[in-house]
Amino acid sequence: MKKILLFAFILSLSLNLYAQDKADTIDVWLGKRLVRIVKDGETTITMQKTNKGDWEELYEEDILSQFENDDNERSVYAGEKKLFFDGNWAGFELGLNNYVDKDLSFSRTGDDEFMDLNTGKSWNVNINIADFGLNIYKGRLGILSGIGFEFFDYKFDDNSMTLTKEDGVIVPDYSTYQDIPLMKTKITMSYLTVPLLLEWQIPVGSNKIVVNGGVIGGMKLGSHTKVVYKESGNRQKDKVRDDFNLSPFRYGFTTRIGYNDFKLYATYYAVPLFEKDKGPELFPVAAGVSLSF
């Protein structure tokens, strides 16, 4: 726990550290907590958490803002305009995914028909573990980035095949399980993601409407196919781990809109699912609900 706090302290120090005009005093923002380091003969470190609704005062220049602790004794100097922006990236997202062709069609025909999906059972799960924001205007408009993980589960509509490579190209495999009725067949992949978003927060009383959008980049972490079937009355499942010619790096466009911590999201990737000429030219899309931490 101490190592985590130390890491968070150093990270925040590198992003948000500023020295006040008052000698030997340094303020560091860790999220909504103000850590004050005072060197006056000896070094003292104190921490103060701000209350919801106090943020506007923190963005006014050269004012004194009072935040009291449990003993009603301590005040905190707000100082210069803060760099921190309380954005909406970190959180949990659940949705459905699919892909479109270059004409933005969801229909699979011809040579790509084997990639047709059961969209209602093709899940997208995003776990966004951290975000970092740069304030532009009064804590209501800011630039936002962070880090997260995306998990894509593509369940095929055709339960008679799985995917394989043939001459370096992804094709359907109907022969491996030709005598075994399959219950489920799919491909799953995971990506590390980093966004760069512009976010606008519109006050509605003590609440807010949140709108953000921008670009998102991804790096593939892993992928595998999975088939589920019954053999001799027993449920069996086979997994094959491979790169499946999936694009190792990609970028796209993403947006979120909602009320407070609850939002809707949508993402479109401009880089095809498979590498060029190594599989069907399909572009991933996903949409669902988002809950911010």
- pLDDT at position 47: 61
Could you tell me the residue ranges of all domains in the chain? Answer: 2-79, 91-292
Q: Name the more confident of 86 and 52.
A: 86
pLDDT digits (tens, 9 = 90+) for 228-273: 998 888 899 999 999 999 999 999 999 999 999 999 999 999 999 9
The Cα–Cα gap between 254 and 252 comes to: 7
Contact 197, 143 (CB under 8 A): yes
- CA 236 to each of CA 156, 158, 175, 221, 240: distance values in angstroms, whole numbers, following the listed order: 18, 18, 18, 26, 14
- Rounded mean pLDDT, 49-75: 42
- CA 9 to each of CA 28, 29, 37: distance values in angstroms, whole numbers, following the listed order: 8, 9, 12
- Rounded mean pLDDT, 187-191: 97
